[in-house]
Amino acid sequence: MSLFIEFTLLPISILRSASIPDEKPLDMSYDAYFEQFELYGKKVCDKKLDGGVLIALLVHLSDNEDVELMTSEFDVLRDFLSELGSIAHFIFTKSHKKKYLHKLEKPYSEYDFEATANTWYGPDEKGVSKIMVEGVKLFHQCLSLIDDESVIIFRIF
């Protein structure tokens, strides 16, 4: 374990200027993208959780809870950034907030994630289910910050 995470609240206009959804992203370096994101974005949802566990949580939510946070209308840009930077990116949008915020309000327990934690990390790795419960709260917090004019870029590195 121990992949780092970062959430940036970004005006959607900056994201759209970087790429037209479903088309090739603008020809910029990875650093140039994140200079723009850092200039116009704001770091949010500051928690020290393991990014690898949050990937397992995203898969669990998609497979078991009908909460699909891994894809959006900005998938082409997400894939482009992930390739450039050799790290995982996810882009949370207003659509995610509208569809899934209420589903993440459910009071999850460590028991809800035990099977997933054991599949990904094995029964000897303690604390994974607890990180997943905290991850749900973190995703809920991030989605609640999104409005008509913003998105959240979630990076795992």
Count of structural domains, the chain? 1
Cβ 120 vs Cβ 96: under 8 Å: no
Predicted confidence at residue 34, as pLDDT, reads 73
Handedness of CA 66, 3, 22, 41 (dihedral sign): positive
- Domain range holding 118? 5-156
Predicted confidence at residue 47, as pLDDT, reads 87
Q: What is the mean pLDDT of each run of 10 residues along the chain (157 residues)?
A: 85 74 58 80 91 96 97 88 82 97 96 95 92 98 97 92
Predicted confidence at residue 79, as pLDDT, reads 87
Predicted confidence at residue 26, as pLDDT, reads 56
Give the helix/strand (H/E) hosting 27. Answer: none
- Please name which of 11, 6, 19 lies closest in space to residue 37, comparing C-alpha atoms: 11
Predicted confidence at residue 13, as pLDDT, reads 86
pTM: 0.89
N-to-C CA span, the chain: 12
Predicted confidence at residue 112, as pLDDT, reads 95
Walk across the sheet containing 5-11 and list its strands.
Answer: 42-44, 5-11, 150-156, 88-92
Predicted confidence at residue 21, as pLDDT, reads 47
